Copies of this chain bind each other. A is one copy, B any other.
Amino acid sequence: MDNRISFSSDYTKGAHPKILERLMQTNFEQKDGYGTDEHCRNAADRIRQLCGCPGADVFFLTGGTQANQTIIDILLKPYQGVVAAVTGHVAAHEAGAIEFSGHKVLTLPGTVKPEESGDFVYSDRIGKISAGALKEFIANFYQDENHEHMVFPGAVYISHPTEYGTLYSKKELEEISSVCKEYSIPLFLDGARLGYGLASRRTDLTLKDIAELTDVFYIGGTKVGAMFGEAVVFPKGVPTEHPIPVIKQHGALLAKGWLLGLQFETLFTDDLYFKISRNAIEMAELLRNGLIEKGYRLFIDSPTNQQFTIIENDRLKTLAEHVRYGFWEKADSDRTVIRLATDWATTREDVETLMGYL
C-alpha cells in the first residue's frame, strides 16, 4: 500500500462523514428508483432555493464526463457542436465522449497566451475563453458563405474553476453570457469543482449569478465532499420534453438514484458544501504562501484548490518519495510543472507535512 501523503488530486478520498452517517441511517429504508425519491426531491428543492430559480430542473448524475456528455447532447441539435477552450475537459480529456454522441467540439484557438509576470508564469486567463474571442468565432462562422457545410456553434462550454484552477470574474461571465444570448446559444458551465470556485477569496461570482447567467451548470460533488455525484441544474428548465430517456440512453440513470439525492441533500444542509469548500481554499492558500516563501515559482496564478508550481527535477525525485503529486508538464529539460491539489478533507497538518518535504 502506498502510504505517501497525497496532493495528486481532489478525488482520492471518500465522502464527508455526515454523508456516510446519513447513508447508515437510511440504509434499510426503501426508496423509489431512478431519482424519483424524496431525497432527490429535497436536494433539488434546496438547490433551487440556493440558486434563486424556483423553476429550475435538477438532475443527479454520477460523474463529470457523463454529465458533460449528457448535457451537451441535450443542448445540441444534430448539426451543432459545442464551443470550448482548447484546454477544456470536453475537448481534451474525455476520450472523445462528445464525438461518441455525434457532436464536434469547436475549439477556440489562441485565446490563451502564456505570459511571464511577477511570481507566476501564466496569467489568470489560462483555461478560459474570452467573450471577445467567442463573439469573433461565432460572427465569423455566420459570415462564412459556406457555413452550412460547417458545424454550427450550438452551445458554449466553460469550466469554472477551469482545469487550471482559474476563475471567471462576474464581468467576464456576464460578457460571455451576453454573447450567448445575442446568438441564442445556451451557455453551459462545468462546475466539477464549483464549490472551490465559490469559496475562493478572489471571486465575485455567486451561485445565484451563475444560475442567472448560464443555461445549465453542475455543482460538483465527486471532488467536493460527496462520495460521487454531480448535481445538474437547468435554471430556466431543461430544453427537452423527455430528459429521462436521454439520460437512460447514455447509461447515466442510476437505479438507486436516491444515493445521489441523499448526498446532495446532506451537502446542502447547514451550508456543509460551502464550509468544506472553504477548507480546501484555506489549505490551498497556506500551500501557496508556503511555496512563495520557499522561493518556488508559481506556474499559474490560481485562486482555487489546485496550485501549480515549477520544481527542479532533482528535488522532485526526492519529493516523490514522500508525496503523491500531479505531473502537469515539463517546464524545460531541468524543471517540471506539478499540480498540488487540496480538497474538502485536507488538514493543516497535511500541508505542513508537505511543506516539510518541499
Using A11-B255, A95-B79, A249-B79 as known contacts, say yes or no to A27 and B17 having CB atoms under 8 A apart. Answer: yes
Q: Is B248 in contact with A250, judged by CB distance below 8 angstroms?
A: no
| A299 lies within 8 A of chain B by Cβ | no
CB neighbours of A9 from chain B (8 A): 33
A106 CB to closest chain B CB (Å) equals 9
Q: Is A30 in contact with B6, judged by CB distance below 8 angstroms?
A: yes
| A218 lies within 8 A of chain B by Cβ | no
| A132 lies within 8 A of chain B by Cβ | no
Nearest-neighbor residue (CB-CB) of A223 within chain B: B255
Nearest-neighbor residue (CB-CB) of A64 within chain B: B255
| A114 lies within 8 A of chain B by Cβ | no
CB neighbours of A255 from chain B (8 A): 11, 63-64, 222-223, 228
CB neighbours of A12 from chain B (8 A): 30-33
Choose, from A237-245, A275-283, A314-322, the stretch at the interface.
A237-245
Interface range on chain A (Cβ under 8 Å from partner): 35 or more
Partner of A33, one of B11, B97, B151: B11
Choose, from A48-56, A119-127, A142-150, A174-182, the stretch at the interface.
A142-150
Where the two chains meet, the residues of A that have a C-beta atom closer than 8 Å to any C-beta of B are 1-2, 5-6, 9, 11-15, 17, 20, 23-24, 26-34, 38, 62-70, 73, 77-79, 81, 92-97, 99-105, 109, 145-146, 148-152, 222-223, 227-228, 240-242, 244-246, 248-256, 259, 324, 327, 345
A223 to B254, CA, bound (A): 12
Nearest-neighbor residue (CB-CB) of A329 within chain B: B144
CB neighbours of A78 from chain B (8 A): 73, 100, 246, 249
Q: Is B240 in contact with A256, judged by CB distance below 8 angstroms?
A: no
Q: Is B103 in contact with A96, judged by CB distance below 8 angstroms?
A: yes
CB neighbours of A256 from chain B (8 A): 11, 14, 222, 227-228
Using A245-B151, A251-B66 as known contacts, say yes or no to A30 and B324 having CB atoms under 8 A apart. Answer: yes
A255 to B99, CA, bound (A): 20
Beyond contacts A14-B26, A148-B244, A152-B242: 14 other A-B pairs, Cβ-Cβ < 8 A, are A6-B30, A9-B33, A11-B255, A13-B30, A15-B27, A20-B23, A95-B148, A95-B248, A95-B249, A96-B151, A99-B104, A102-B102, A227-B259, A250-B251
